[in-house]
Amino acid sequence: MLPCIHFRRWLPWLGGALWLGLIGAGWVIVTDYSSRPAPVGDVPEVWPVDVPFGPDSTRMTLVMFVHPRCSCSRASLRELAYIMARARRNLTAHIFFYQPAHKPAAWIETDLWHYAQTIPFTTVHRDLDGRLAERFGALASGQVVLFRPDGRRVFYGGITAGRGHEGPNPGRRQVLHLVREGVGTAAHTAVWGCLIQETQTTTP
């Protein structure tokens, strides 16, 4: 009987230790996810010829790819609005929202979709099955690619400091430098967002 009594005395402590261990493991998983950039695909160096339209011939063109249900992308859209308000009419933007072919049209029309439509000098599109996202090498929601009027790529990556983080960041700074002055200090930045398609093959 004595071993059972001792075991019962230690049972609450063992339960508490197990609970703390689970909390710690959960914290590690969440922290790792929030601090790990999203993967990037094969971003073309020039505007793809098989895209339905070309870049603006008089100003730079930015394309952004968004999953309509990625909460991280609210910050990316707000950063794009910040950029467009300061681009001095030197930038045209297109936002492509992922639209699975098997989903009804209303599936895509989230608050992110409606907010995107309020950003000036920006056109919002449906990207059926993420085909254009794949063509531009965008695997994660919030990725942008910036092109010169001649169709040459000058920048790609994210325009937030982290997942769901608004405020000054290298991506926003690079886009504005390139649009205003024609030069930048980095060709790409990290992307922070959800995968556009979970079934995609990704690279680090």
Q: Which residues are CB-contacts of 10 (< 8 A; sequence separation ≥ 6)?
A: none
Number of structural domains (the chain) is 2
Confidence (pLDDT) at 185: 83
Query: Same structural domain for residues 157 and 103?
Result: yes
Helices (H), the chain: 2-35, 73-86, 111-116, 131-135, 170-181
Q: Which domain holds residue 26?
A: 1-35
Confidence (pLDDT) at 20: 56
Judge whether 189 lies within some domain.
Answer: no
Which residues lie across from 38 on neighbouring strands? 191
Query: Same structural domain for residues 92 and 173?
Result: yes
Query: Same structural domain for residues 1 and 72?
Result: no
Judge whether 138 lies within some domain.
Answer: yes
Judge whether 72 lies within some domain.
Answer: yes
Confidence (pLDDT) at 200: 44
| DSSP letter assigned to residue 39 | P
Judge whether 150 lies within some domain.
Answer: yes
pTM > 0.85: no
Average pLDDT value for the chain: 86
pLDDT tens figures, 119-175: 999 999 999 999 999 999 999 999 999 999 999 999 999 999 999 899 999 999 999
Query: Same structural domain for residues 6 and 94?
Result: no
Query: Same structural domain for residues 92 and 24?
Result: no
